[in-house]
Chains A and B, each alone.
Chain A
């Protein structure tokens, strides 16, 4: 089996267990508070790590290119409370503009 399909099958299995643990197994019972708090805390650093890596790196190197302009534009759009789809379009447009200049 290819590395890609191995990833798809095992990752979907692990993901499904995480998705279904609450609805299928627990029902109304609760997880230990510690564990749910940890799960609550993970998204912020994980998403920020994804933002940083998808903007400021290429392979194993740090980079600073037009994507940074797009990210700043996205931040301004979010601060102006524009909808998700507009934020994404603004980021793409700003990046394209920075590349064209």
Chain B
């Protein structure tokens, strides 16, 4: 039926736009990985197997700063606690054979969850989640490869073009929707302050972890 097709086309367009929007971030990840001394295989290992932008950046930054694997994993894993919340929110729409649920879970990233949760009907939520997840997976990995192979070779040109500033801008863009809520704004400010305070005294990667844990637990204890 036509209205059903129109709806699906709209969701596919949403999925594709968000995947294209994530592409500079993938390029930046490829570049960051290369600058941290990672090879193509290692960078692609992060993008295919870990497949969560912020955790990949966090882990690679920790390694680049001379941190241990344990610190890198801890930083990445704590950043990914939100996948748990997304998974719980989307589980009702991702029913089916165990094989399907195992495969679909790998796509549990911010963008896929956002496209899924933005839809009205349960069937469209499932469709939106899968469309967003697959689109981002393909472009994320392609852009990681391009970042390692081509941007890395350009070195200074990239810094001169301000590509290194795309990382904080992308984090800010991901944070932005939460800043309309006063409580989340205070938590964000607290997180930034705690993290910066920790940088000179804590091992690489830990300031982010401490900032998240301290602020989230602190506001919870104070009864919000």
Q: Is the interface of B mostly helix, strand, loop or mixed?
A: helix
A-B contact pairs, 7 of them (CB 8 A): A10-B73, A19-B80, A20-B108, A47-B54, A47-B174, A91-B162, A92-B169
Number of A-B contacts defined by CB within 8 Å: 299
Chain B interface, number of residues (Cβ within 8 angstroms): 100
Of the listed stretches B2-10, B43-51, B147-155, name the one at the interface; the rest are far from the partner chain.
B43-51
A79 to B213, CA, bound (A): 28
Q: How far is the CA of A69 from the CA of B178 in the complex (A)?
A: 22
Complex Cα distance A35/B49, Å? 26
Cβ of B172 within 8 Å of any chain A Cβ, yes or no, is yes
Rounded to whole Å, the gap between the CB of B96 and the closest CB of chain A is: 9
Q: Is B55 an interface residue (CB 8 A)?
A: yes
Q: Are B160 and A96 in contact (CB under 8 A)?
A: yes
CB distance from B91 to the nearest CB of A (A): 4
Q: Which of A44, A55, A66, A71 contacts B184 (CB 8 A)?
A: A44
Q: Is the CB of A45 within 8 A of B191?
A: yes
Q: Using CB atoms, name the residue of chain B closest to A27.
A: B91
* Residues of chain B with a CB closer than 8 A to A11's CB: 50, 55, 59, 72-73, 76-77
Query: Which A4-51 residues have a C-beta within 8 angstroms of B?
Result: 4-12, 14-16, 18-24, 26-28, 30-31, 36-51
A22 touches B172 (CB 8 A): no
Q: Which 7 A-B residue pairings sit nearest by Cβ, starting from the closest? A: A45-B191, A22-B87, A95-B162, A70-B165, A91-B169, A20-B105, A49-B195
